[in-house]
Structure 1
Amino acid sequence: MKLNLVEIAEITKGQLYGDDVSVDGLSTDTRNMQADVLFIALVGDSYDPHEMIEAGKASKAAAVLVQQKVNTTIPQVVVKDTYKALQQLAAAWRKRFNLPVIGVTGSNGKTSVKELIKQILSTQGNVLATVGNLNNHIGVPLTLSNLNESHRFAVIEMGANHAGEIAALAKIAEPNIGVITNIGPAHLEGFGSIEGVVHAKAELYQNLSANGVAVINADEHYREELEKFIGDRMQISFGIEKHADVSGKQISSDQVEIITPIGEIRVKPQVPGMHALLNILAATAVGLALGLDLEDIKTGIEKTIAVPGRLVMVEGLAGASVLDDSYNANPASLAAALDVQAQEPGEHWLVLGDMGELGDEGVFMHKKAAEVAKEFGVTRLFAYGELTKHSVEEFGTGAAHFNNHSKLIEKLQEELSAGVCVLVKGSRAMQLEKIVAGIRTNKITTNKKLNDKANGQNNMEHNEHVA
């Protein structure tokens, strides 16, 4: 983003104090600030960056955007609300570019689908895409602020835990194509019910441009409800079980077939499982909506690697295997991960952390998680977190609860052996990547090896994992 302070003051309805200098980009973190940026003071519950500015921590910045005038020699623009101003700047900057913008949301699989779309579109030119999981009211504007003339496409991941948040992000990003991966019981605390989740995610379709394209999951239980928000816009469906514009099937341990209106292709994805196939089909639908040929779509899919912490198989201690899905969790993504684990030989163990933001359903969902784990053949449950105490109670023999990471790691280090596959799964707040670090070697099991093990995946449940 390249703007001068007069423009910034006009966009944000702020007051400029000091020289009218130009800025080259935005920053909200004094720790990794580049020179010549506009530092935006986003006040937190226990952090006031205005104090940091006065202490000289933002001295690299060309200017600062603040909610109150501060004592500094750096030019400053004072606004009523720096969060709102950040979003206003991003929206104004996005309007300067005439390029396809793809919005991606859903209860599970957002990040994986975003990465697939990014790689597919990269066969055509430079792509701006959400980095990591910067998918909220701060991350989306910061991502869009990086748009420049070299970009041919933008792929924006959109997350939410309350109604209205996706709509707000879509108004900033103005997507031409919207993808909803699926609907599941995630963030029920904020949405209130599964119906609340449906309506919140559907805000993406509702805010597409009039000639936009809605990419919809044909296998989704709530498809009919979602379609009410599409209106007269074009839609492209993807799925495995139900009739869809883009469908697919597993044809061997390491190869899938994708069937589209313009032909069929066989690809060798680097991530196994039917959950991954659904992600691939969603991304393929986006490629078709943008007129890509099947060979370019195939190239992009085969270049896409697993996202760290999302169903990545690594070598564990004592010859065990560790299925690292520690990045986040909800009931649907847990079922998907257990489904992938079920294709692995040997004994199956589960390290389960609390699944957050389930509201009044929390206790029930954690008891249900234990039932589901047993149904998938899990013989040992290692639990961490308050809610997983209910999982341990429901699981019974073979389950144990731990109050800290170190004790859990110590127990696993003592008991892991060759022939054991342990799935590590929990919400972000559980920090279960620490468990993975404590029980793995430094080697990553190649996706080919994992795929070679994964036989019979056509019978798997069609759930997505958290992204």
Structure 2
Amino acid sequence: MKTAQLHNIFLEFPEICTDTRKIKEDSIFFALKGDNFNGNKYASAALENGAAYAIIDEKEYVESDRHILVDDVLKALQELASFHRNHCRAKVIGLTGSNGKTTTKELINAVLSKKYRTIATKGNLNNHIGVPLTLLSIKEDTEIAIVEMGANHQKEIEFLCSLAQPDFGYITNFGKAHIEGFGSEEGVIKGKSELYEFLIKNDKHIFMNADDPIQLQKLGGYIKKYGFSTNQKEFYKIAFSGANPFVKVIVEDNSIESQLVGSYNFTNCAAAILMGKYFNVPLEKIKEAIEGYSPSNNRSQIITRNGRQIILDAYNANPTSMKAALENFSQMEGNHKIAFLGDMFELGSITPTEHQNIADLATTLKFDEVVLVGENFNRVETNLKKYSSFDELKNFLNNNQLHSESLILIKGSRGMALERILDTI
């Protein structure tokens, strides 16, 4: 079936499902494949549970005219998404970077939705499947779509740009993330910059942090760039005015106080403010959006448990974000500071060095207590407490009472699931 024909069906049944456990009435089921599953086997079950059509790529599973056979289900999903993106009138903002993508995306959406009909990537569905699903959520009346793009190897952002065709773009930063796939920090910069390359090649608009020397160097001669800066006159001025614990900024003599912990969230707020100004959202509405946004999903959250104040930042971690979190934690006021740090993943050959660096940094910052968790941290040379697994940490917590008025930082990669500490303390 041609993509245009499939798109006509999609316009009649605009709900997409890829999981038979979450089938919605009159949806289209795409029978994707993975290392351990074959969606074709569940196509009939999807139809029985209410799907209007099932898109499959193995002929033996065709049982009715509601089974639509294509050469490759994933490719069909991606091509449909690209076709739909070009069918709709919405402007697309592409967003990538090593740290802060999802928070920045949520802030941008909060600001722009004050004036426009927007859609944005749900959660962190930002890969070769998530981006198509986001594009397919664009409605006829959507004015702006904010599309988050993740990557862990070269050419991935380039491919996602070919699907999303962004009109605008922003890179949060370049850090030590996914080194295993990118090969080096230079590889990270090259991979993330594929967004810039697409936008420049197609004469599109770029938002930038003009205080980031890498961005400034790469975009110095490009005309269609719009930046924020704390001190450069040629860019929109947004001043940082503290983060103890919540980030505060000054814009046009107006103070804006977010609900985000950590000075590292300043640039995330600034990017959303810059885009709000570009799209003519009134400043009072921008302030309302930034101050009203409350983080969730273990990202820069402040939680109180039994008199203890906890900074829960356990959604993900890499050396850059870990260093920023520790330095910010060191500047916060607290009677008894405890940092729980979990392993950082996907670092490849630099894994031992970077875990040692973080342990050394944590030692110099002189917190009251630092607890390292995971096999990688367990191998470092340090006098800090360290446990090879969460179960070992749990045993320690069950047998040792933490200070009753502690200020606690919890930071680690998603696979460590350190938010489980909350159930113990």
TM-score by length of 1: 0.83
- 2:386 is the counterpart of 1:362: no
C-alpha contact (below 8 Å) 2:54/2:67 kept by paired residues: yes
SS at match of 1:52: helix
Amino acid at match of 1:245: Y
Aligned mates of 1:408, 1:130 — CA distance in 2:
35
- 2:397 is the counterpart of 1:435: no
Post-superposition offset of 1:339: 2.7
* Partner of residue 330, structure 1: 318
* Partner of residue 24, structure 1: 14
User: What whole-Å deviation, never above 9, does each CA across 1:135-167 have from its counterpart, x for those lacking one?
Assistant: 111111111111112322111111100111111
Aligned mates of 1:97, 1:233 — CA distance in 2:
27
- Aligned counterparts, 1:111-260, within 5 A: 111-208=102-199, 210-227=202-219, 232-240=222-230, 244-250=235-241, 256-259=248-251
Post-superposition offset of 1:239: 3.6
- 2:337 is the counterpart of 1:344: no
* Partner of residue 409, structure 2: 423
Taking structure 1 as reference, are residues 185 and 367 closer, same or farther at Cα in structure 2, changes over 3 Å only?
same
Taking structure 1 as reference, are residues 139 and 294 closer, same or farther at Cα in structure 2, changes over 3 Å only?
same
SS at match of 2:103: helix
Identity of aligned residues (%): 34
Aligned mates of 2:177, 2:125 — CA distance in 1:
18
- Aligned counterparts, 1:4-153, within 5 A: 22-54=12-44, 56-59=45-48, 60-69=50-59, 70-73=61-64, 75-153=66-144
C-alpha contact (below 8 Å) 1:251/1:257 kept by paired residues: yes
Amino acid at match of 2:275: V
Aligned mates of 1:269, 1:10 — CA distance in 2:
44
Aligned mates of 1:88, 1:8 — CA distance in 2:
10
SS at match of 1:88: helix
Amino acid at match of 2:319: P
SS at match of 1:198: helix
User: What whole-Å deviation, never above 9, does each CA across 1:15-42 have from its counterpart, x for those lacking one?
Assistant: xxxx999433211111111121111111
Amino acid at match of 2:282: D
Unmatched 5+ stretches in structure 1: 13-18, 440-467
Taking structure 1 as reference, are residues 333 and 138 closer, same or farther at Cα in structure 2, changes over 3 Å only?
same
Report the number of matched residues: 418
Q: Which has the higher contact order (CA 8 A, sep 6+)?
A: 1
Amino acid at match of 2:386: A
2:280 to 277, 284, 291: 291
Aligned mates of 1:45, 1:20 — CA distance in 2:
27
Aligned mates of 1:322, 1:255 — CA distance in 2:
16
Post-superposition offset of 1:105: 0.9
With 110-119 and 346-355 compared, the bigger mean Cα shift is at 346-355
Post-superposition offset of 1:83: 1.5
C-alpha contact (below 8 Å) 1:212/1:233 kept by paired residues: no
Taking structure 1 as reference, are residues 239 and 58 closer, same or farther at Cα in structure 2, changes over 3 Å only?
farther
Amino acid at match of 1:227: L
Amino acid at match of 1:237: G
Aligned mates of 2:62, 2:209 — CA distance in 1:
53
C-alpha contact (below 8 Å) 1:326/1:425 kept by paired residues: yes
C-alpha contact (below 8 Å) 1:94/1:144 kept by paired residues: yes
Unmatched 5+ stretches in structure 2: none
Aligned mates of 2:265, 2:216 — CA distance in 1:
23
Taking structure 1 as reference, are residues 141 and 9 closer, same or farther at Cα in structure 2, changes over 3 Å only?
same
- Aligned counterparts, 1:376-395, within 5 A: 376-391=365-380, 393=381, 395=382
SS at match of 1:95: helix
C-alpha contact (below 8 Å) 1:349/1:421 kept by paired residues: yes
* Partner of residue 397, structure 2: 412
SS at match of 1:186: coil
Amino acid at match of 2:211: D
TM-score by length of 2: 0.91
C-alpha contact (below 8 Å) 2:243/2:262 kept by paired residues: no
Post-superposition offset of 1:211: 4.4
SS at match of 2:392: helix
Taking structure 1 as reference, are residues 61 and 41 closer, same or farther at Cα in structure 2, changes over 3 Å only?
same
Aligned mates of 2:95, 2:31 — CA distance in 1:
28
